[in-house]
């Protein structure tokens, strides 16, 4: 899923707030967007961080809602 720091005042369907954004290594408060993509491994320049378990569970719940 896409992650952005462009946060609107109210969450849209498929979005999940990244509560532990500093722990995840993100630079600003962020939210996931319901945009799924596959990226070839050789196109990844660097890894910014890793989501905290609580945030991973929130993203998992959103994915289950989207995908059924």
Rounded to an integer, what distance in angstroms lies between the CA atom of residue 53 and that of residue 41?
23
Tokens of 54: 């609580």
Measure CA of the first residue to CA of the last residue in the chain; give whole Å. Answer: 16
Higher pLDDT, 10 or 60: 60
In the predicted model, is pLDDT for residue 56 greater than 90?
yes
pLDDT at site 59 = 93
Report the pLDDT averaged over residues 9-38: 89
Tokens of 8: 């609107």
Share of the chain above pLDDT 70, in %: 100
């Amino acid at each position: 899923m896409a992650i952005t720091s462009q946060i609107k005042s109210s969450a849209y369907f498929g979005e999940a707030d990244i509560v532990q954004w500093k722990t995840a290594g993100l630079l600003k408060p962020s939210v996931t967007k319901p945009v799924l993509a596959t990226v070839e491994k050789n196109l990844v320049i660097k890894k910014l961080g890793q989501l905290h378990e609580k945030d991973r569970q929130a993203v998992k719940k959103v994915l289950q809602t989207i995908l059924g």
